[in-house]
Amino acid sequence: MRGKRAKVKQPVLDRKYQNPIIGRLINKVMQDGKKSLAEDLVYGAVEDGASKVKVEVVEFINQAIDNIRPALELKARRVGGANYQVPIPVTPVRQETLAVRWIVDIARGKSGKSFDKILMKELLEAFKGEGEAIKKKNDIERMAEANKAFAHFRW
């Protein structure tokens, strides 16, 4: 039996644009508590990307993250001694979390340029609806669609 329901935390807003998605992106990029460095990297990437496609910064980041949000994901369920990959709908908060995580992880996995340039490139590709983060989203949704037969194991 569970205890009390978890309290809903207030979204973390960034200092410059007061946007929760940019705040989450900064916190995900941050390493070793160096928030000012993470802010510089994220603001540089977001502002350069927005200027390249000639839209506002907040609109740019919202569109890029919305393109990556997955609608379904797989969860392992053990039923009768067998493990099934059960497709479940993703809550909006988790959609945003996954999208931010995928972008930062993909950018961290690449090398050759500075991190802010790589992050800007990933955000631009996400804004346009292409790139590795979109591919990851499509793969997960395709696997969830393939395992639709196990949807009755959801509870």
State the pairing for strand pair 82-89/72-79. antiparallel
CB 119, CB 53: distance < 8 Å? no
Which residue's entry shows tokens 């993703």? 90
Domain around 136: 20-153
Residue 82 lies in a domain: yes
Domain CATH number, residue 138: 1.10.455.10
Identity at 107, one-letter amino acid code = A
Residue 10 lies in a domain: no
Structural domain total, the chain: 1
CB 137, CB 69: distance < 8 Å? yes
**Per-residue pLDDT tens for 38-88?**
999 999 999 999 999 999 999 999 999 999 999 999 988 888 888 888 899
Q: Kindly report the pTM of this predicted structure.
A: 0.89
Residue 5 lies in a domain: no
